[in-house]
A and B are shown apart, each in its own frame.
Chain A
């Protein structure tokens, strides 16, 4: 590790070799945007993730995948054929410079190349190797093939998501590739813990992360509901699955948009119900909720259905943002159901500098990317560069750093090693 520059992210000076497909590219991005020197190693014909849409101007091309662009910021990229002797030799030389190796190959593959953790630690005793795979390195399902959808099924996400007001609706897998996010988040945690241990002791270690376990761990109260009460979950539209039905919270507004309200009517404290009723009363829609009898928690509990219906009827007659902003100003944690487009104009995201501009010199354009969840006071997050072109940094890494000659580089390219 080199000396840290305090103006860059917390992982400044940490080198990560990333051999990752869709399972691990988010982990590499999170580390890279936080300052790690992530070198993405792709097969000579490119990682399959370059073929995932959407594409820039909808033209299918390995350098135009917006998915690849998003998940591979701040990384440098080289090509290397690990199935060739010369490719493995170069990889072994790179290992000497690495702090972390992140790999998502099927279990046993990298060891079959002579590049497993036991081999790599002989070359670099303090190296941290993280394998992020669908089911981990052991167990009866370890060789099963999966996808985002399949993980959300087995992990329990679909068991809790769906509709209670559409007959015969299937369980629903939420969108956005979240299974890979969950696996990558836990991989980031584990790698960071290992980096701290290494800083303390000088010792590396091996990390075995399972996407399936990461998903199975990310269903909030569903597991404790089963373990402690023996109850399974009922899927409900736009709100928490429950062990028993609960009143709707996703409510249609007069502009055709939805707002998600937290109206646990039975447990609404009298003071809060009063402030809600006063707001509704300004529009003559409080019904009887201004009545003094509602200053009694027992009455609120008895009248929960009536209160819920009255509030939802009020919401039906307001625009979504009137409800969202009005409720927030009164201290209710309600949220507007927004489309992706609406985030671009969100004042709060803009105040936080959420959107960042990333140069793409080849296209001669600068594009707007989503930023980060946190503001770091001393080690700022940043997108250091756009996703690498295929083999973009072969020269920089193999010649400038590992001292290959130009002729050797050309020969390796021609022989399919790079």
Chain B
């Protein structure tokens, strides 16, 4: 298909997804987090939005910087989550809007959405219709429960998907309610899967010429992340609700049957320990996976009498006497600041890493700094802010954050006139009849520029 493409990033670096156009109906977090990476890898991502049904720009943790009057264009969280995209403001639920979106889809390779299961169908944009518009379209959807099955009309957000999939249950201290997950892990992870599956389907299309529908369910995806626990249940018949499980940060809770906790080897020490300072995040994790690593730790602690006791010489002994072991280690860990503790342990062949807050990662983590994890991107309203980079470095086709999260409707002119060949009059009339912006809503100054 010959297509006019808008300019994505600098033109010198090759892009893995060059020439791929994505119509992006995603909202909130999971879907937008996915298409952000498709954009970083070179796809032209057109985010289709409507200001009256907008949850990413204004709702939730918007994180507008202090001192800036909040608007649809000031959410820091949106800026990070929606980097590398174009924005088209369009009322898809209007007859004129749906005609325009169909024309856009017919010029596109991929449609991505994370609405409830029946939304695209209700717009007349189900997979069968999408195929008519663009015969080899790659259509990737992620709803809470998937597009098939008895509960397909149910919906999720991160915490409910985590609860339903068994992930919440697997996080916490024994004999306590679950601690669960302190964020929407399955939104972040859902985003990774949407991006991965979209690219896998693009690859399949390159090799076979065939598009397809990839139908994901967020709760179902969560269930796949409990693998060994599920096999312990289906094969060994083991009940997951049992004494000592989940075992907090330990590999095993002392005084309970010694069973796998599905985090790896059953060893001690394996825990979080308070460190000097005593503040909220002054904790360091330490784990010894062999007797040698334990001996290294004993030496590092200055070979205190308690640690030289024979009962700690073997992993079984350490597991059995874990309370005393952990108390002894914490007495020592409290004398050192968490990064100093990490450095001394690592230098002595002991595995240790500090608990890092968001502030720690952004300001105190020399590894993330050296690797360029947070780099500034200019935003037209907010100014220059650090945006999160990819955790992978591709030598030939790097992922690049080449653009801020778009202002709402910022690219209407480029898309509607440049790409779809609309005239100036048609563009202006679409703003007057409420197709490109709600009639009752005041426009931003940059939108006036677009229309003129």
Which of A80-88, A104-112, A188-196 contacts the other chain? A188-196
Decide yes or no whether B176 CB sits under 8 A from chain A.
yes
**Which residue from A162, A199, A373 sits with its C-beta under 8 Å from B207?**
A199
Q: Are B281 and A201 in contact (CB under 8 A)?
A: no
Which residues of chain A are within 8 angstroms of B238 by Cβ–Cβ distance? 54
Q: Are B164 and A336 in contact (CB under 8 A)?
A: yes
Interface centre among A151, A160, A197, A372 (most CB of B within 10 A): A197
Task: Report how far A250 CA is from B353 CA in the complex, Å.
Answer: 30
Q: Are A66 and B231 in contact (CB under 8 A)?
A: yes
CB of B368 to closest CB in A, whole Å: 6
Which residues of chain A are within 8 angstroms of B241 by Cβ–Cβ distance? 339, 341
Please encode chain A, from 159 to 191, with 1 for each CB lying within 8 Å of some chain B CB and 0 for all others: 111110010011111111110011101111110
Total contacts A to B, CB within 8 angstroms? 545
CB within 8 Å for A372 and B224 given contacts A176-B170, A228-B63: yes
Q: Are A70 and B204 in contact (CB under 8 A)?
A: no
**Which residue from A10, A147, A252, A337 sits with its C-beta under 8 Å from B203?**
A10
For this complex, 23 residue pairs linking A to B, each with C-beta atoms less than 8 Å apart, are A54-B262, A58-B236, A139-B367, A147-B264, A148-B264, A159-B356, A174-B179, A177-B228, A193-B399, A194-B394, A194-B397, A221-B63, A226-B357, A227-B386, A228-B65, A238-B178, A337-B178, A338-B163, A349-B223, A352-B217, A367-B231, A375-B214, A379-B204
- Residues of B in contact (CB 8 Å), total 162
Q: Are A370 and B188 in contact (CB under 8 A)?
A: no
Task: Report how far A341 CA is from B179 CA in the complex, Å.
Answer: 19
Which residues of chain A are within 8 angstroms of B370 by Cβ–Cβ distance? 138-140
Q: Are A174 and B181 in contact (CB under 8 A)?
A: yes
Decide yes or no whether B23 CB sits under 8 A from chain A.
no
Task: Report how far A348 CA is from B151 CA in the complex, Å.
Answer: 6
Which residues of chain B are within 8 angstroms of A56 by Cβ–Cβ distance? 235-236
Task: Report how far A56 CA is from B144 CA in the complex, Å.
Answer: 33
Please encode chain B, from 320 to 332, with 1 for each CB lying within 8 Å of some chain A CB and 0 for all others: 0000000000000
Please encode chain A, from 225 to 260, with 1 for each CB lying within 8 Å of some chain B CB and 0 for all others: 111111011011111110100000110100000111
- Which residue of chain A has the shortest Cβ distance to B80 in the bound complex? A224
CB of A257 to closest CB in B, whole Å: 10
Decide yes or no whether A71 CB sits under 8 A from chain B.
yes
Decide yes or no whether B239 CB sits under 8 A from chain A.
yes
Which residues of chain B are within 8 angstroms of A225 by Cβ–Cβ distance? 61, 63, 77, 358
Which residues of chain A are within 8 angstroms of B264 by Cβ–Cβ distance? 22, 52, 147-148, 177
Q: Are B199 and A189 in contact (CB under 8 A)?
A: yes
Task: Report how far A177 CA is from B227 CA in the complex, Å.
Answer: 10
**Which residue from A52, A232, A339 sits with its C-beta under 8 Å from B166?**
A339
Q: Are B180 and A250 in contact (CB under 8 A)?
A: yes
**Which residue from B192, B208, B263, B371 sits with its C-beta under 8 Å from A175?**
B263
Other than the known A221-B183, A222-B183, A243-B61, what 10 A-B pairs have Cβ atoms closer than 8 Å? A150-B352, A176-B167, A185-B192, A194-B394, A197-B397, A218-B185, A232-B281, A260-B159, A376-B213, A379-B204
Q: Are B76 and A228 in contact (CB under 8 A)?
A: yes
CB within 8 Å for A354 and B394 given contacts A54-B260, A328-B155, A337-B169: no
Decide yes or no whether B126 CB sits under 8 A from chain A.
no
Which residues of chain B are within 8 angstroms of A250 by Cβ–Cβ distance? 168, 177-178, 180
- Which residue of chain B has the shortest Cβ distance to A251 in the bound complex? B177
Task: Report how far A229 CA is from B359 CA in the complex, Å.
Answer: 11
CB within 8 Å for A71 and B227 given contacts A153-B355, A228-B385: yes
- Which residue of chain B has the shortest Cβ distance to A337 in the bound complex? B163
